[in-house]
Amino acid sequence: MRWMSTVFLAVGLSFAGAAVADEAGDAVIAQMDAATGKAADLQFKYDVVHQEPGAAHPRTMQFTTKVKGEKNVTEFLAPADQKGTRVLTLTRTQMYVWLPQFQKLRRVASSSTEMGFMGTTFEYEDMATYSYASLYTGRILEENAEQWVVEAVAKPEAEVGFKTLRFTIRKDMQVPTKIEYLAADGTVARTNTRDDYVCDAGVCVFSVMRMTDHRRNDVWTELRMVEWKHDQGLSDDIFTVRAIQAGM
């Protein structure tokens, strides 16, 4: 994801808020966007594991996701009470959920996009596919032979859940391996890790993604990729309200 999402970061907030755009940092973020957006379309199947602190057993789910540009559609295959639930993301602020049990379509209010996605540590906003470079300015904090660490501060006009992110980005693939989401007080509220990248024809995707919410005693949700495809020529008709209602 960049879907999720994804797709998916500082020094103190007072300093970060005053950060001046760094051309090198902006360039790294743009390169990351380009690397994660190489495919014309993508299809995934994920096993999902959600672990609450103190729970004896994790909760498990499975879903498929189809991605094309900014749009994506997710369909739950398991558990039984969520099977057939579909989530359509058209933009960061335009999302719909089809609930087959009630034969009901629900628009996700823009004020609710920071809420948990289907009981996981991911937020609805994480489901969107978008360009970080269009929303954030970058500044390189650290660099070595293997990676960059880049602070990203939201542009004044950007409406985002977290104003400051910190990316760790692999140089060889130009993809993120860690994204830290900073709270207003400068502490890390959430951490997204992406591991075990696999590549085909220059398109590289993670095999495992974990989102840990430090505000909730480190509860985490992990996506484990079962299969994937890219550049299959997905039709735009798939990414419509009519399609998620009809099950296309």
How confident is the prediction along the chain (248 residues), in pLDDT tens digits per residue? 444 443 333 333 333 333 445 899 999 999 999 999 999 999 999 999 999 998 999 999 999 999 999 899 999 999 999 999 999 999 888 899 999 999 999 998 765 545 577 889 998 888 777 789 999 999 999 999 999 999 999 999 998 889 999 999 999 999 999 999 999 999 999 999 999 999 999 999 999 999 999 999 999 999 999 999 999 999 999 999 999 999 86
Strand 198-200 to 203-205 pairing = antiparallel
Written as one string, the DSSP assignment of 136-184 is EEEEEEEE-SSEEEEEEEE-TT---S-SEEEEEEETTT--EEEEEEE-T
Q: What is the pTM of this model?
A: 0.87
The CATH number for 3-8+12-246, chosen from 3.40.30.10, 3.10.20.30, 2.40.50.140, 2.50.20.10, is: 2.50.20.10
Domain boundaries, the chain: 3-8+12-246
| Cα–Cα distance for residue pair 215/217, rounded to 1 Å | 6
